[in-house]
Amino acid sequence: MTCRKKKEASWNYPGARWWKFDFHTHTPASKDTAAWQQAIGTSDELMPEQWLLEYMAAEIDCVAITDHNSGAWIDKLKAAYGAMQDRPPPGFRELYLFPGVEISVNGGFHLLAIFETNATTSEIDSLLGRVDYSGTKGASDGVTRRSATDVVHAVLEAGALPIPAHADGSKGLLQLQATDSLKSVIDHPTLQQVLGNARVLCMEVVNPAASKPSSYSQAKLKWAEVVGSDCHTFQGTAVPGSRYTWIKMARPSLEGLRLALLDGQDVSIRRSDDAEPFSAFERPEHFIESIRIADARWMGRQNGGEQLKFNPCFNALVGGRGTGKSTVIHALRLAYRREHEPAQGSEARETFARFNKVAKNPSEQGGLRTDTRIELIVSRDGIRHRLLWSQDEQASVVEEWDDGTSQWKTASSQVITAQRFRLRLFSQGQIAALAENQEALLKVIDEAAGMTTEQAAFAEAKRSFLATRARQRELDGKLKGREALNLSLQDVQRKLARFEAAHHAQVLRAYQRSSRQTRELDRQFAGAAELAARLRALADDLLAEDLPDGLFDPDEDGDALLTVQSVARAIAQARAQVVEIAALLAQRSSTLRAQFADSVWQSKVDAAGVAYQVLKTGLQAQGVNDPSEYGRLVQEKQSVELEGKRLDALQKQFDQQRLRATAELENVQQARRAMSNKRAEFLRQTLASNHFVRMDLVPYGRDAQTIERSLRELLGTPDNRFKEDVYVEAPGDGQAQGLVADLLRSVVLVEEASGPDRPQFEASIRRLQERLERACDGSNEFGARFNKYLAGEAGKRPEFVDHIACWFPEDGLQVDYSRKGDGRDFQSIGQASAGQRAAAMLAFLLAHGDEPLVLDQPEDDLDNHLIYDLVVQQIRANKQRRQLIIVTHNPNIVVNGDAEMIYVLDFNKQCHVKRMQSGSLQDRAVRDEVCKVMEGGKDAFERRYQRLGREI
């Protein structure tokens, strides 16, 4: 899980949190603080304010003041801190002072005694008196006159915590005689006195890798190992902030410290020198900050609604039945828009449906009112969002927090999806149903494994295959005319062959050429005759113009008249010449035409005509009426051949599409395999070290009823039609019949010896598909009615066959559980009790994920053994990486699961939070409420606090 580091100043969430605790410090009250001792009475003397500011600068939250056999500076530091609170100096920050002392114990070891924050110097002195410390206050020049046993008892009776100081070092309880020895420096009786006290919870260890004495190992102790700076000066390496311990508690107190020490390492205690990186203020990327329910039927009718603020870790909602715990869960489902998640017909769906109604009168079901509002504040990838829900969602439903204006603003996206706002929400009924419904369990696995990419790839592979097959059918339709075209081409080629066999081309070309030549000669002779006729017509028009009467006088205009007469004679002469030329042209043309009729050329023309007539007669005898059809046939052949080339290109495309469809069908198979592989790998990694549940993926499943359901959905026969062909269960000792039975029978013998055989099963699936495809094509693969149905469906929906080709049964799951939860003796969940099945599913849900996990009474089917050994352990592991919100009646979940925040709900006409009894387990009011409203609450606390020996 990727988390974001936050400074503690911004950790404003309710309930328990991590505090930086320095368990071992010194002041000038310790005589071995040489530098500080030398400065006493000078201007360099260390003052209490300076001492406090050094720890504040190191961002220490809690400091134990543990001078050698003295509490002299405790009251001084408290007084100084109080003054600083009134007038904070630069660098001031909150610091919790835990009075204490480092006692030199009879037997040669040092013991820290940590008191409640309100303890004083006087109480330290009283303790030193009770243990009869014989040396100098502030020095280690003496030891207690009382034994180690008496000293530890005295510390406990004083209400303090006994912690062996630097146990692995000099003057340490567990110091070894030599590096290669496991024998303690401390004498055995003294060591046994301390090791035998069950109320000693922890020790200060400087080197966590150091070996422990054999006495400690034989006692099978697991004391918490804390560390402090053991600071004697602010110079060098042992300075404030150099070594410290993270302690988880709601607020610093001795009771909170006791609880954390009892939880031990990695749960409520982390050392600053841990090899594994630790950030105390990490938060999940997704978590719920708060929910406000306003004007619901039974909650939030006053004071603007009921608000619950959550811790990013583990939150528990407790209370008697009918106090509104499930109302909070239903409200979360509405705010996250997860109304559809409970399966149809399930108890969880029915319960939610009863809530998700507006009751019109007091007798009707319904937990809502028309004006009910839900406001959910969530943190998502470091950004705060507010999700709003009401009956009328016309307004914006998603808002974002604007750090600049410190106000909510409408988000750019108003979409609320499971991918954007992540949450896992399960009721006890949903958890139990997962063991019975593998489809629902697979859905949970897919969501947790992040199967979106693989599922999209599978869907895309199927889409591409179906599209290619559709294109292939389209091309096949266009190629249907190819046979007719081939026949047409053969007919044209046959006719053209007849032309070619009769030497048609040469005869027709000679005839056509001679015909054109003859026509041209006729045109030329006709043109000459027309010219002769035009010349004769022109001659008829060549006449001199008559002179107007009286215009010329013979006597006076004689010369002019003579000229006019000369012109008239010239015209007459020209007329005679034109007439002569016309007659000559006509005669010459006629002579040439007569001569040409006997020419060699005319003989060739006549021969071509005779040959043409012979050709025509011959072709007519063969069914060709028009010798000129040759040209049309040639054009038709060219047209048919062109269409043939187009169909050849289509055929090539068709062949390519066929090959592509084959490759894409293999892609579908590979994509489907990838889904199974991803699921199997997720289960392997998630449950690798799970001691309670084991899940193995069975590719394509082996459950006959599940496969039958899937196959009938594919074929469109959800009813029991065609039972004999699809599936008939085995009668008594007989064999099952039908497609499904054949499919399973083909691999059962192979798999009985070696487990699921995917290649073998895939081959069997393909054979089943091929049988169906042949029946769709008209083969008699099955009974007559089933064959007819399949052929009819394929006729109505050509893609029907394609869907068959890319069908695969859904994966199955082999779920086993360990009866004792110890990782051994795994048995099939089919043999488990209801409680064991629910525990197995709960173990799986708690084994993975980093999104908020909301569980509504998950313990209903579980006994306390399962709850403690399974649920509590996994809750503790889960809350370190994800937020948990659990509604529960079981105190073990709350107490031993160490809930960071507890809400105690009550009912007084309206469901509401008992605010004074809500908080963390270190609050007595909360503990009292848990004992009161939760059966067995006192036992749960005693189990957890049994080593404390204190009243809970």
pLDDT, tens only, 224-247: 999 999 999 999 999 999 999 999
Q: Are 767 and 901 found together in one domain?
A: no
Q: Calculate mean pLDDT across residues 661-683.
A: 95
Same domain, 288 and 267: no
Which helix (H) or strand (E) segment holds residue 878: the answer is helix 873-878
Spatial separation of the C-alpha atoms in residues 284 and 314, rounded to whole Å: 12
Residue 784's pLDDT band (cuts 50, 70, 90): very high
Report how far residue 8's alpha carbon sits from residue 418's, in angstroms, rounded to the nearest whole number.
Answer: 31
C-alpha 270 chain-centroid distance: 33
> 194 or 869, which is more confident?
194
Question: Cα separation of 856 and 842, whole Å?
Answer: 12
pLDDT reported for residue 546: 79
The separation between the first and the last C-alpha atoms of the chain, rounded to the nearest angstrom, is 36
Question: Does residue 123 register a pLDDT over 90?
Answer: yes
* 823: in domain: no
Are the C-beta atoms of residues 226 and 271 closer than 8 Å to each other? yes
Same domain, 876 and 803: no
Classify each residue of 494-519 as buried b or exposed e, where b means 16 or more C-beta atoms within 10 Å of its C-beta.
ebbebbeebebeebbebbeebeeebe
The confidence score (pLDDT) of residue 624 equals: 63
Pair (243, 359) in one structural domain: no
In this structure, are 170 and 263 located in the same domain?
yes
H-helix or E-strand containing 291? strand 286-294
Which helix (H) or strand (E) element contains residue 319?
strand 314-319
Q: Does residue 647 lie in a domain region?
A: yes
Vertex 209 angle, CA 207 and 211, to 5° = 100
Average of per-residue pLDDT across 629-640: 64
| Predicted confidence band of residue 601 (pLDDT cuts 50, 70, 90) | confident
Q: Which residue has the higher pLDDT, 821 or 244?
A: 244
Query: How much is the CA Rg of the chain, to the nearest whole Å?
Result: 53
CA distances for 172 relative to 8, 23, 204, angstroms: 33, 15, 9
User: So what's the pLDDT on residue 608?
Assistant: 79
Question: For position 653, what pLDDT does the model report?
Answer: 84
Rounded percentage of the chain residues whose pLDDT exceeds 90: 49
Within a domain: 515: yes
140 & 109 share domain:
yes
Question: Residue 258 sits in a domain of what CATH number?
Answer: 3.20.20.140
pLDDT tens sequence across 788-812: 999 999 999 999 999 999 999 999 9
Residue 376 has what pLDDT?
Answer: 97
- The CATH number that applies at residue 373 is 3.40.50.300
pTM score of the predicted model: 0.75
DSSP letter assigned to residue 88: P
Which alpha helices (H) appear in 597-694, and where do they start and end?
Answer: 600-621, 629-686
C-beta of residue 249 within 8 angstroms of C-beta of residue 16: yes
**Is residue 24 a contact partner of residue 165, using CB atoms and an 8 Å limit?**
yes
Q: Tell me the per-residue pLDDT of 710-735, one tens digit each, with 9 for 90 and over.
A: 999 999 998 889 999 999 998 877 88
Q: What span, in angstroms and rounded, lies between the C-alpha atoms of 575 and 265?
A: 146
pLDDT at 170 over 80: yes
Q: What is the pLDDT of residue 801?
A: 95
Residue 244 shares a structural domain with residue 172:
yes
Q: Is residue 445 part of a domain?
A: no
How many helices and strands, by DSSP H and E, does the chain display? 30, 26
Q: Does pLDDT of 179 surpass 80?
A: no
Q: What pLDDT, on the 0 to 100 scale, is given for residue 282?
A: 85
Q: Which helix (H) or strand (E) element contains residue 20?
A: strand 17-25
Q: How many CB atoms lie within 10 A of CB 837?
A: 23
Q: How confident is the model at residue 922 (pLDDT cuts 50, 70, 90)?
A: confident
Could you tell me what percent of the chain has a pLDDT over 70?
89
Give the pLDDT confidence score for residue 152 in this predicted structure.
97
Residue 801 within any structural domain of the chain: yes
* 722 and 664 in a common domain: no
What is the total count of domains within the chain? 4
Tokens 């922890």 correspond to 202
Interval 431-446 mean pLDDT: 87
pLDDT at position 501: 60
For residue 951, the model assigns a pLDDT of 43
pLDDT-based confidence at residue 3 (cuts at 50, 70, 90): very low
* pLDDT band at 55; cut points 50, 70, 90: very high
| Residue with more model confidence, 666 or 897 | 666
Q: 501 with 540, same domain?
A: yes
User: Is 862 among the domain residues?
Assistant: yes
Give the pLDDT of residue 749. 61
Q: Pick the last residue of a domain from 227, 246, 271.
A: 271
> Which residue type sits at 403?
D
Using CA atoms, how far apart are residues 495 and 626, in angstroms rounded to an integer?
12
Q: Which helix (H) or strand (E) holds 928?
A: helix 924-933
Residues in a beta bridge with 379: 287, 384
CA atoms within 13 A on the CB side of 454: 18
pLDDT tens-digit readout, 502-522: 566 677 777 778 878 887 888
The answer to whether residue 428 scores a pLDDT higher than 90 is no
The one-letter amino acid at 190: T
Q: What is the pLDDT of residue 931?
A: 82
Is 306 in the same domain as 248? no
CA 107 distance to own-chain centroid: 62
- Report the chain's mean pLDDT, rounded to a whole number: 86
Q: Which residues contact 922 (CB under 8 A, 6 or more apart)?
A: 16, 249, 250, 251, 253, 255, 256, 259
Same domain membership, residue 796 and residue 900: no
538-576 confidence digits (pLDDT tens): 888 888 787 787 788 888 888 888 888 888 888 888 888
Give me the DSSP letters along 130-152.
HTTB-S-TTS-S--BSS-HHHHH
Residue 818 domain-assigned? no
Domain range spanning residue 140?
A: 16-271
State residue 32's pLDDT score: 95
Final residue of a structural domain among 810, 842, 861: 810
CB 398 within 8 A of CB 305: no
pLDDT in tens, 251-302: 899 988 998 898 888 778 999 999 888 888 888 999 999 999 998 888 888 8
| Predicted local distance difference test score (pLDDT) of residue 35 | 94
Last residue of a domain, one of 222, 237, 271: 271
Comparing 129-138, 342-351, 668-677, the range with the smallest average pLDDT is: 342-351
pLDDT by residue (tens digit) across 854-911?
999 887 777 666 776 777 778 888 887 899 999 988 888 888 888 899 998 887 656 5
Residue 162 sits in the same domain as residue 245: yes
Angstrom distance (rounded) from CA 631 to CA 617: 18
Indicate if the pLDDT at residue 948 is higher than 60: no
Distance between CA atoms of residues 886 and 423, nearest Å: 13
Mean pLDDT score, 198-220:
92
Question: Does the residue 71 lie in any domain?
Answer: yes
pLDDT of residue 952: 42
